[in-house]
């Protein structure tokens, strides 16, 4: 049972990091010069990092929840 929790935790960490990386890659296409005064400032870069973490975390949670629901469906039948 303990190994199940270890694998689940490791899977969650990997999915979260991959989701954050994909989100960072996708955010690079957004033109932040429209929203900020200086698009090359450290504040804009920090904003991109924070957005990547938040959106990537939410994306990872969605995938983990969906996978958990899919595994729980076997108990339905």
Closest of 60, 30, 61 to residue 47, by C-alpha:
30
Domain span at residue 49? Answer: 37-67
Asked if residue 60 lies in contact with residue 16, where contact means CB atoms within 8 angstroms, the answer is yes
Count of domains observed in the chain: 1
Closest of 56, 59, 46 to residue 25, by C-alpha:
56
Number of residues that this document lists for the chain: 77
Task: Please indicate, yes or no, if residue 17 is contained in any of the structural domains.
Answer: no
Q: Record the pTM.
A: 0.84
Task: Please indicate, yes or no, if residue 4 is contained in any of the structural domains.
Answer: no
Task: Please indicate, yes or no, if residue 42 is contained in any of the structural domains.
Answer: yes
Q: Which is higher by pLDDT, 1 or 29? A: 29
Residue 74 neighbours by CB distance under 10 Å: 7
| Per-residue pLDDT, 40 | 86
| Per-residue pLDDT, 1 | 67
């Amino acid at each position: 049972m303990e190994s199940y929790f270890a694998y689940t935790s490791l899977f969650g960490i990997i999915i979260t990091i991959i989701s954050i990386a994909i989100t960072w890659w996708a955010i690079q296409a957004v033109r932040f010069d429209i929203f900020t005064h200086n698009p090359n400032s450290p504040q804009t870069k920090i904003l991109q990092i924070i957005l990547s973490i938040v959106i990537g975390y939410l994306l990872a949670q969605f995938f983990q929840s969906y996978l958990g629901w899919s595994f729980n469906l076997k108990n339905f039948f």
